[in-house]
Amino acid sequence: MAETVKNHDFIELDYTGRLIDGTVFDTTVASEAKDLGKRDFKPVIICVGEKQLLPGLDGALVDKETGKKVSITLSPEQAFGKRDVKKMKIVPMGAFQEHKVRPEPGLQINIDGELGTITRVSGGRVIVNFNHPLAGREVVYEVFIHRRITDAKEQITSFLQTTFNLPKGAVKVEITGEKASVELPMVLPEPLLEVIRKKLSELTVCKEVVLSCKSPEKK
């Protein structure tokens, strides 16, 4: 039976993102992928409204029904943003020579935590584009919502796996009534743990969330 998706629902979905010309740039479906370089194709679990997808796509899921395939067109502002000329920067050739990097058009580089693509090399200057590669592009997402997730253990597990990019099985969760006992595979500062406790108690039926951190094993 189809269910209507509401804000803050946990849902499992598959999606394929395409440019207007049909080129696939992201997907969770193996049959849609060709040269994406991904190997792990499977449905994803997200909490609607928690910014785990592009803002435009996230918001468009509200009022959609489970068990149905929908097509969602996003403007540049809703997707990867407009192209910003201020993000086209000139980097001295010497900065690359210091790190023994040969700059070439198309090469992706990371400068001060910001990912950019070299677009031009001229004389002693290198022009780097720090816009997202799909900035300024309208995109289309085909989405199939498999189900709403109401099990608190699955909700908490999936939320933490997505938030911290953790592998399956890394988060241990036990539910007793309205209490959740959660073991994380890494050490986090107490202020962040408090934020997580509050968020999980807001999104799930578990009004009490006990978090413990396990130090990663040294190799």
The 8-class DSSP code of residue 80 comes to T
**pTM for this prediction:** 0.84
Mean local confidence (pLDDT), 8-13: 98
Topology of domain 85-129, CATH? Thrombin, subunit H (2.40.10)
State the DSSP string of 180-206. EEEEESS---HHHHHHHHHHHHHHSS-
Using alpha carbons, list the distances in angstroms from residue 42 to 1, 12, 61, 99, 213.
23, 10, 19, 38, 28
* 3 state DSSP class of 114: strand
Predicted local confidence at residue 95, as pLDDT: 87
Query: What tens digit of pLDDT does each residue of 170-196 get?
Result: 999 999 999 999 999 999 999 999 999
Predicted local confidence at residue 124, as pLDDT: 87
Edge-to-edge strand list for the sheet holding 208-213: 172-176, 179-184, 208-213
Beta-carbon contacts of residue 53 (< 8 Å; ≥ 6 apart): 46, 61
pLDDT for residue 37 is more than 70: no
Query: What tens digit of pLDDT does each residue of 82-141 get?
Result: 999 999 999 999 888 888 889 999 999 988 888 899 999 988 899 999 999 999 999 999
Pick the CATH number of 1-82+135-150 from 3.40.50.80, 3.10.50.40, 3.40.50.12780, 3.40.50.300: 3.10.50.40
Pick the CATH number of 151-219 from 3.30.70.2210, 3.40.50.300, 3.40.50.360, 3.10.129.10: 3.30.70.2210
